[in-house]
Amino acid sequence: MNLPNALTLSRIFVVPLLVVVLLTPFSEDWFGVPRHFLGVALFLAAAFTDYLDGRIARSRDQVSRLGILLDPIADKLLISAALISLVENRLAPAWAVVIIIGRELAVSGLRSIAAADGVVISASRMGKLKMLTQVVAVALLILSDAKGAPPVANFGYAFPAIQFWSVPELRAAVRHLFGEGIVTFTDWQVLLYTAGRAMLWVVVLSACLSMYQYFRAFYEVTVRRMAAGSDPPQPLPAAPNAAGHALHQKS
C-alpha cells in the first residue's frame, strides 16, 4: 500500500474516534485537552489528509484504483459523521444536514449512472470549494460547543442566519468585541456559533447549486447522445461555476 492510500485509510479510521470525542457525555476533557478542542483537531487533521493524499499521489505518480474508490468514501464518511454529531449536540439544524448528505448521495448515484454509460466527469474545483466550506462550518460549530450543547439556547429559528441579531447574547458579544466591555470565553463561543451557522447556509446553497449543475450537465450530454443516435463514451461537459471551471471528480 502506498502513502496516499494510507492517508486516505487513516481518514476513515479517524471517523469513529471523532464521533466518540464529540458525543462523549461523561467527560469534557480528554488527557487534559477540552473535548471540543480535541474534536476540532481530529477533524481538521483528517480533512487535511484529503488535500495531502491527492497532492502526494499526483506528484509521485501513485494514483491508483483503490485510492480513486476510497477517497470520496472517506470524504463523505468524515463530513457525514461530523454533521450528524453536530445535530445530536444541537449545534446544527437537522434540515440542513439532511440536504447536505442527501445531495452527496444523489450526486454519487448520478456519477455511478454516468460511469455505467461510459460518461467521464471532467475535472473542476467545485468539489474542493464545497469541501472547504464544509470544513470551515464544521470546525466553527465544534469550537462553539458548550458542554454538548449550543452556547445560546434560543437560536432555534427556522432561518437562524437571518434572525441571529435578535439574540441578546450575540449583540452583547459584538459590543464586547468592539471595546464595550471584556470579551469572555462565552462571547467567543457565541461568535463562533454564529459564524458557523451562517457558513452552514453557504454550504447548503453551494451544495444545491453544484447538484443542479451536475444534473444539468448529465442531461445535456444525454440529449446530445440521443440526437446523434449513438452511444460513444465521451466526457461530461463542464458544469459552469463562478470561476468557469469544469466539474471535479470530488463531488
Q: Tens digits of per-residue pLDDT, 80-102? A: 999 999 999 888 989 999 999 99
| Model confidence at 247: pLDDT above 50 | no
Most confident of 19-33, 64-78, 229-243: 64-78
Query: Can you tell me the distance from the alpha carbon of 125 to that of 27, in angstroms, rounded to the nearest whole number?
Result: 40
What pLDDT is stored for residue 64 in this prediction? 79
Ranking 65-69, 118-122, 145-149, 182-186 by mean pLDDT, the lowest is 118-122
Ranking 42-56, 61-75, 108-122, 154-168 by mean pLDDT, the lowest is 154-168
Phi, psi (rounded to 5 degrees) for 18: -60, -45
Taking the CA atoms of 245, 249, 250 and 251 in sequence, report the sign of the dihedral they define: positive
3-state secondary structure of 236: strand
Closest residue by Cα to residue 245 from 160, 155, 126: 126
Ranking 110-119, 129-138, 163-172, 211-220 by mean pLDDT, the lowest is 163-172
Could you report the per-residue pLDDT of 122-173, keeping only the tens digit for each?
A: 545 666 678 889 999 999 999 988 777 777 765 555 444 445 555 677 777 7
What's the pTM?
0.80
Closest residue by Cα to residue 160 from 90, 93, 89: 93
What pLDDT is stored for residue 243 in this prediction? 37
Query: Can you tell me the distance from the alpha carbon of 202 to that of 180, in angstroms, rounded to the nearest whole number?
Result: 30
Query: Can you tell me the distance from the alpha carbon of 79 to that of 135, in angstroms, rounded to the nearest whole number?
Result: 8
CB 140 within 8 A of CB 196: yes
Please provide the average confidence, as pLDDT, over all residues in the chain. 79
How large is the average pLDDT for residues 187-191?
85
| Model confidence at 26: pLDDT above 60 | yes
| Model confidence at 71: pLDDT above 90 | no
